[in-house]
Amino acid sequence: MSGDFSFIAVMVAGLYLAALACIYRILLTYRTAQGAIAWIIALIGLPYVAVPLFLMIGRYRFGGYVTARRMGQKNLTGLLDEFEQQTTSMPRQGEPHFDNELQVLCKLGRQPFTSGNRSTLLKDGEATFQALFDAMEDAREYILLEFYIVRSDRVGQRIKAILERKLAQGVQVWLLYDDIGSAFLAKRWLRELSAAGARIASFGRGNLRTRRFQINFRNHRKLLVCDGQVGFVGGINLGDEYLGTAMDQEPWRDSHCRIEGPAVTGLQLAWLEDWNWASGERPELNWQPMSHPPGDEEVLILPTGPADTWETCSLFFLNCINNARDRIWLTSPYFVPDFQVINALQLAALRGVDVRVLIPEKADSALVSLAAYSYLVQACQAGIGIYRYQPGFMHQKVVLVDDRYAAIGTANLDNRSMRLNFEITAINTHPHFIAEVDKMLSDDFQQCRLLTPADYQDRSLAFRLACRAVRLLAPLL
């Protein structure tokens, strides 16, 4: 009996020592006092629940990736220095239109704006997949893929068939996927592609020893690079849902972007750093810009994530909102902003900026949909327009700032994108591309319902309480 008591005492003491270690880490690294206090109370009161929970979702820096970045920093820094010294890279100072706002974005992404690019706006899944298929078919040296979700459905089988055919032709293929987003990807699909000669890595399972309990971090990027010359980035994953071909499926509304030119080097650098983390390898790739630039567009590739020194994704959104002069239009399937972002949106609206946020009417997450309603009154009172897209599920992530630049990427307006996910965005300053994005979003707004405070205030007390309660979970959504 005394032996059992001693064992239990040791276990309890060990649990509270672990809780103290977690509290020590919180005090050294916390972002907000409210979050720190909540964790500390939970760790003291319910350590048997809070300790494992904190180990899984309590961290805000992806420690293993940070270590890998430091180890590979010399090689990556050399490539980045070469990138910035290319003749297509815009100078950080001395250009009248290259103001402080854009310089901030360069510093956040550790990449330069480049000129000489040509971008094509892809407004739906059908156009995007056709462009992806064509680019892979045209590849002569290598194909780099990095997607949060890869499925073994019809789209996945078509991509696998193309990749197997290109491998047989001597083209090298590297595929990086997120193990959580692609949890239902068939193992047979992976085995067959690997047997054909593709190099495949999972963002999580490829480095379990160094990742340790950090399952809350996701690689949410979606990009493709062919031969270092053509690249794609945007919100579309590799799955049938983006085509909306199933009889019982709502059509998905999403956007992607095809880029030719020196900015593709930025996509390739982001892919290389992620691949290095997941596999420990550094493939030899083409880093030479095109001898004849294909266009005249200025583009910046902005990778963001929890291994960065700053909260780069949050700062990106804040930089856009705070510097908007006439309008800022944002689209996101998940609208669960923190207090900094909602306050910045309110201030922008109060100073006369046309602030619009486009979100889906039919969300794929009931909790996120409820949380979005809780922001409605304070948004509308400041003059922020909240629009709900009607025809189907709206999944695109687009930012339009005045007539000065447009951004298309993978980042949502939620805590996960801003602090926990690895995201990537392409920012374009060319008037023609901006006009295309303007037209696309204007057409989308025509298919939206503008919300009013009554959409929240006239609902039942139970609904309003549920919205407010779910909003407390915003850091986890």
Active site residues: 220, 222, 227, 395, 397, 402
Tokens of 119: 């971008």
Interatomic CA distance for residues 253 and 256, integer angstroms: 11
Calculate ∠ Cα 207-211-216, nearest 5°: 120
Which residues lie across from 242 on neighbouring strands? none
Q: How far is CA 259 from CA 16, 33, 365, in A?
A: 53, 42, 31
Looking only at the bridges linking them, the beta strands covering 230-234 and 256-260 are antiparallel
Return the SS3 of 243: coil
Residues 6+ apart with CB under 8 A from 355: 321, 324, 327, 328, 345, 348, 349, 383, 384, 385
Phi, psi of 421 (to 5 degrees): -100, 150
Q: How far is CA 319 from CA 113, 322, 328, 399, 448, in A?
A: 16, 5, 11, 12, 27
Interatomic CA distance for residues 186 and 184, integer angstroms: 6
Calculate ∠ Cα 166-168-172, nearest 5°: 55
